[in-house]
Structure 1
Amino acid sequence: MNLEQIKPLRQTHSLLKVELVTCERNISGLNAHYNVSVKHGDSTTNFNIRAGDTDAVSYLLKWAEEVNLVRTERAVEITENVFQSFANDKILDDDTVIWKYMDFSKFISLLSTQSLWFARLDKNWEVDPFEGKVPKAHWETLIERILNTKFAPQFIGNGKVQFGGTPEIGMTQVPEAERKSKQIELQRDMYEAAIYNSYVTCWNVSTHESYHMWKLYCNHHNGIAIKSTLGRLKSSLGQNKNYSVLGGLVEYLDYENQMPARGEHPLTHVYCKSLPYSFENEFRLCLKDFGSINDVIGGHAPYSLTPEEIKSNLNSYSSGFPVKLDLSRLIESVVVSPHSDPWFFELVTSIIGAERKFSHSLSGLIAVNVASSNMS
């Protein structure tokens, strides 16, 4: 909102909040702005003013000073645990065995960076074109719910918006059909934008190795699998860091006919996959970009909630981010592919045991066991 739009509000509205927000980003980087709340009768309106709009900001702060309203600032939230459980109908024990299958180059990257790579969700379309898409039955149910909802009347005019009550002279009512159409469009944009603002890494839940996982994720003979547990994975991410990682089981669906069990959660579609991939039995970690500055994504990475804006600037978006973790906590053992040659087993063993060569990146891994596949 600009200065000319703010001035009329001062005559009719009470100022409730003036908050400087410096922890949100948009497509062009850091997006500092003032979040403002004003009240007229029973109606409260929120709007933003760009911090760079000096005239509007000066007018706003003078208004706040006259009514003895103290300007606040939004603090960056730091969670105690990096790992946060995704809303789930099935809770796994910490001793649940999990596997991460990868080729040799990704294994070396894991060791040298001490980081897990979280790939942007749309990158998975190369393997599964349904990845991150909203199941048809879920979307149709959501639309039906919006169409059957009775909204309070909305009025616009005189430079303001009012919900319910008696409108002032000069204000007009927004047609309910138009409001419902915009709500459906908003939901569609929210789901699509979440695909590009979500970064995931995937683990296989199983007490034993999987032939299909070896074939799918180790595209040649010389691959490895990290064997761990859910508890190890959680603790390896650490605590008191300025970001969080969601973790939960993936739900496998017939995208045409089935509803997800966790349909009320806004990230349900991020944790859904099509039935042909059910053999993966996936436990998914998701680094969700909510637009806040954090220690992984940083403060100047692009961020938007508008799919068209995101796609037009997609080259500016990272294909993924490395998330630091404690390998000594994460890795229980390293298993070599059943299709590998004998020399490859020796190579992996020597890398894990080379304390001098990898003393920095492999600190704490010297005791890790390297095993041949039980499928050999």
Structure 2
Amino acid sequence: MHVNSPDIKLSDNDQLVVWKYLDLSKFLDMLLSQKLFMSRSDKFEDQYEGTFSEPTFEEIKKIAANNPKFLDYYKSHREKVVVSSWHANEYESFAMWQIFTKNNEGLAIQSTIGRLKKALIVEKHFEQYIGEVNYIDYKKEYIPFEDTFFPFLFKRKSFQYEREIRIISDVSHSQMSINEGLKIDVIINELIEKIYIHPKSENWYKNLVVQMVKKLGYEIAIEKSDLESDILI
């Protein structure tokens, strides 16, 4: 396992706080399976995911003129790269609650870069990397393509608010067939430092999460988000 690579940008600060916002069913699936879901890169809503900026594409087209398979490789490669997305932020994010949870339910996993590194269990058939996403102008800026991971570590500037950290793997050499994505083994107690319950959720919902986590044998701190705490006047 390579949790980071000299070519992939990642903060040296293992205490950097990262978050994953998700609904209760996905969270429960994670606890029961002790696995982290990684989505296939071409299944994200952003259609630019894993593609190239215009300057890079112009260069690739020149190479592909004499080697058509070169471009085909990059198109099909998106189906073999899987990603788990995390949000880097010292504090919880109101915007992330809005985007990734619904109906005043859902929760946020708080972790750190260091915890992500320790939580990943070595996979036999592919390597794992952790990297920061770079936000660029796709019309003007160049994305290097010497490394096959690079297209998956760049996004358009309009997504800058995501401040995304990615766990990323390429399963091309594993002969694995993946549909929506795949699940990787993780150490749950390392992965999760704390759980925050949706700020607009009711008390019964928090109690449900507390009981569920306890019955599954995990000792994880659980708090209600303080974004909706009482106004002091």
The one-character-per-residue Cα deviations of 1:73-104 (angstroms, maximum 9, x if unpaired) are: xxxxxxxx363437234533211111011011
Structure ranking higher in strand proportion = 1
Question: What are structure 2's unaligned runs of at least 5 residues?
Answer: 229-233
User: Which of 87, 106, 121 is 1:223 aligned to?
Assistant: 106
User: Within the alignment, does 1:206 sit opposite 2:89 as a pair?
Assistant: yes
**Which residue of structure 1 lines up, in the alignment, with residue 65 of structure 2?**
181
**Aligned pair in 2 of structure 1 residues 92, 220: CA closer, same or farther (>3 Å)?**
farther
The one-character-per-residue Cα deviations of 1:190-228 (angstroms, maximum 9, x if unpaired) are: 221211111111000111111111111112311101101
**Aligned pair in 2 of structure 1 residues 86, 373: CA closer, same or farther (>3 Å)?**
farther
Aligned letter for 2:146?
A: E
Q: Does structure 1 retain, via aligned residues, the 8 Å contact 2:82–2:182?
A: yes
Superposition pairs for residues 137-152 of structure 1, below 5 Å?
137-143=55-61, 146=63
**Aligned pair in 2 of structure 1 residues 100, 240: CA closer, same or farther (>3 Å)?**
closer
**Aligned pair in 2 of structure 1 residues 254, 343: CA closer, same or farther (>3 Å)?**
same
**Which residue of structure 2 lines up, in the alignment, with residue 243 of structure 1?**
126
User: Larger deviation: 246-255 or 106-115?
Assistant: 246-255
**Aligned pair in 2 of structure 1 residues 203, 240: CA closer, same or farther (>3 Å)?**
closer
Q: Does structure 2 retain, via aligned residues, the 8 Å contact 1:136–1:256?
A: yes
**Which residue of structure 1 lines up, in the alignment, with residue 135 of structure 2?**
252
User: Within the alignment, does 1:129 sit opposite 2:47 as a pair?
Assistant: yes
RMSD, aligned α-carbons: 2.0
Q: Does structure 1 retain, via aligned residues, the 8 Å contact 2:50–2:152?
A: yes
CA distance in 2, matches of 1:225, 1:339: 13
Q: Does structure 2 retain, via aligned residues, the 8 Å contact 1:103–1:220?
A: no
Shift of 1:242: 4.0
User: Which of 13, 21, 26 is 1:93 aligned to?
Assistant: 13
**Aligned pair in 2 of structure 1 residues 220, 275: CA closer, same or farther (>3 Å)?**
farther
**Aligned pair in 2 of structure 1 residues 289, 242: CA closer, same or farther (>3 Å)?**
closer
**Which residue of structure 2 lines up, in the alignment, with residue 38 of structure 1?**
none
Q: Does structure 2 retain, via aligned residues, the 8 Å contact 1:100–1:226?
A: yes
Greater relative contact order (CA < 8 Å, ≥ 6 in sequence): 2
CA distance in 2, matches of 1:200, 1:346: 31
Q: Does structure 2 retain, via aligned residues, the 8 Å contact 1:135–1:259?
A: yes
**Aligned pair in 2 of structure 1 residues 139, 93: CA closer, same or farther (>3 Å)?**
same
SS at match of 1:219: coil
**Which residue of structure 2 lines up, in the alignment, with residue 277 of structure 1?**
159
**Aligned pair in 2 of structure 1 residues 318, 86: CA closer, same or farther (>3 Å)?**
farther
Larger Rg: 1
Q: Does structure 2 retain, via aligned residues, the 8 Å contact 1:100–1:204?
A: yes
Question: What are structure 1's unaligned runs of at least 5 residues?
Answer: 1-80, 147-179, 302-316
CA distance in 1, matches of 2:164, 2:181: 19
Shift of 1:142: 4.1
**Which residue of structure 2 lines up, in the alignment, with residue 177 of structure 1?**
none
CA distance in 2, matches of 1:346, 1:255: 46
**Aligned pair in 2 of structure 1 residues 204, 138: CA closer, same or farther (>3 Å)?**
same
CA distance in 1, matches of 2:7, 2:103: 36
- Report the TM-score when normalising by structure 2: 0.89
User: Within the alignment, does 1:196 sit opposite 2:79 as a pair?
Assistant: yes
Q: Does structure 2 retain, via aligned residues, the 8 Å contact 1:86–1:248?
A: no
The one-character-per-residue Cα deviations of 1:279-299 (angstroms, maximum 9, x if unpaired) are: 110011112112235xxx4xx
**Aligned pair in 2 of structure 1 residues 270, 143: CA closer, same or farther (>3 Å)?**
same
SS at match of 1:247: strand
**Which residue of structure 1 lines up, in the alignment, with residue 199 of structure 2?**
338
Q: Does structure 2 retain, via aligned residues, the 8 Å contact 1:84–1:244?
A: no
CA distance in 2, matches of 1:217, 1:130: 20
Q: Does structure 1 retain, via aligned residues, the 8 Å contact 2:40–2:79?
A: yes
Q: How many residues align?
A: 228
**Which residue of structure 1 lines up, in the alignment, with residue 224 of structure 2?**
372
Q: Does structure 2 retain, via aligned residues, the 8 Å contact 1:227–1:331?
A: yes
Aligned letter for 1:270?
A: F
**Which residue of structure 2 lines up, in the alignment, with residue 329 of structure 1?**
190
Shift of 1:253: 1.9
Q: Percent identity?
A: 27
CA distance in 1, matches of 2:123, 2:81: 21
CA distance in 2, matches of 1:187, 1:252: 25
Shift of 1:137: 1.5
